[in-house]
């Protein structure tokens, strides 16, 4: 039997220390800028793929910051934030306004056994934001989640980016949280094995976490140019956003490989 991820305890330590995750501490400008861009791209995709009110499972919800924001900015009927870090879930519940408790819930659980906690096809869309690269068995997690929704959106570090590979080896934070970015074709193949088609995929953002504000400002200025050039955006952008769906006439095809 494979060992449980050590990074779960690290994420719990993060919230015990400061009451939130490191990357939701928006006093650090690089965190604010990088996560804001991810949030904007995710919300734009959600609005594109569905006009009706939808039910969402937010896998890896952490301290709940992005889950609550997602609900407020989109046409969502209800959303379940799901995470293995129990202390993070406690923080998320404490930060939930009473007016939202009928529409947002936070649950602790094992991503490898998500299908045992939820009924088949019980969510319209699953969001997996920054989770797969922390897992010891990402293929097992995808298989479990594939049973409870026909549509999945992931946000992951872009495994094509050589700078990310270096950061994962030398950054103390990245090593403690066991980060290991995967190549996009590898991720795509894992979803294909579970019956999903790739509907849309793109790479964006060149702003890294832990970067000084002066550097972030420079990167912001050149980011649109880098993103507009196909080869450069593939290897220099830091974020991979992908939308997968099982074959259905009712699901729009937004991208063709």
Structure tokens at 195: 């019956």
- pLDDT tens string 117-176: 999 999 999 999 999 999 999 999 999 999 999 999 999 999 999 999 999 999 999 999
Predicted local confidence at residue 113, as pLDDT: 96
Per the CB < 8 A criterion, the answer to whether 144 and 113 are in contact is yes
Predicted local confidence at residue 26, as pLDDT: 82
Predicted local confidence at residue 190, as pLDDT: 98
CA–CA gap between residue 187 and residue 155 (Å, rounded): 11
Where do the domains of the chain lie? 7-246
Predicted local confidence at residue 257, as pLDDT: 31
pLDDT per 10-residue tile (average), the chain, 257 residues: 82 91 88 95 93 94 96 95 96 95 96 95 96 97 97 98 95 95 98 97 95 96 96 97 83 40
Q: What is the CA radius of gyration of the chain?
A: 17
CA–CA gap between residue 148 and residue 107 (Å, rounded): 16
Predicted local confidence at residue 2, as pLDDT: 59
Tell me the backbone φ, ψ of residue 152, rounded to 5 degrees: -135, 135
CA–CA gap between residue 188 and residue 230 (Å, rounded): 19
Q: Which residues pair with 241 in a beta bridge?
A: 155, 202
Q: Number of C-alpha atoms within 13 angstroms, CB side, residue 70? A: 34
Residue for token digits 């969402």? 56
Single out the residue of 62, 72, 81, 71 nearest to residue 22, CA to CA. 62
Nearest 10 degrees: Cα torsion 103, 149, 158, 10? 60
Give the predicted TM-score (pTM) of the model.
0.93
Per the CB < 8 A criterion, the answer to whether 164 and 157 are in contact is yes
Per the CB < 8 A criterion, the answer to whether 29 and 163 are in contact is no
Predicted local confidence at residue 254, as pLDDT: 42
> What CATH number was assigned to the domain covering residues 7-246?
3.40.50.150
CB-based contacts of 224: which residues, under 8 Å, 6+ apart?
A: none
Predicted local confidence at residue 111, as pLDDT: 97
């Amino acid at each position: 039997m494979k060992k449980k991820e050590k990074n779960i305890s690290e994420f719990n330590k993060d919230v015990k220390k400061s009451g939130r995750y490191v990357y939701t501490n928006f006093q650090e400008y690089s965190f604010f800028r990088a996560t804001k861009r991810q949030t904007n791209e995710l919300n734009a995709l959600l609005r594109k793929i569905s006009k009706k009110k939808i039910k969402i499972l937010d896998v890896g919800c952490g301290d709940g910051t992005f889950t609550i924001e997602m609900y407020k900015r989109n046409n969502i009927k209800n959303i379940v934030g799901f995470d293995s870090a129990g202390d993070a879930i406690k923080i998320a519940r404490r930060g939930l306004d009473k007016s939202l408790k009928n529409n947002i819930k936070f649950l602790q659980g094992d991503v490898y056994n998500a299908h045992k906690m939820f009924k088949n096809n019980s969510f319209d869309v699953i969001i997996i934001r920054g989770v797969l690269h922390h897992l010891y068995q990402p293929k097992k997690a995808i298989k479990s989640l594939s049973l409870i929704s026909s549509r999945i959106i992931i946000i992951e570090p872009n495994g094509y980016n050589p700078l990310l590979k270096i950061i994962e080896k030398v950054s103390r934070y990245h090593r403690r949280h066991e980060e290991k970015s995967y190549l996009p074709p590898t991720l795509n193949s894992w979803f294909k094995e579970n019956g999903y088609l790739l509907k849309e995929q793109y790479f964006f953002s060149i702003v890294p976490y832990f970067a000084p504000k002066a550097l972030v400002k420079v990167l912001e200025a050149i980011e649109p140019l880098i993103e507009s050039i196909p080869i450069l955006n593939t290897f220099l952008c830091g974020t991979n956003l992908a939308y997968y769906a099982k074959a259905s006439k009712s699901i729009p095809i937004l991208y063709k490989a």
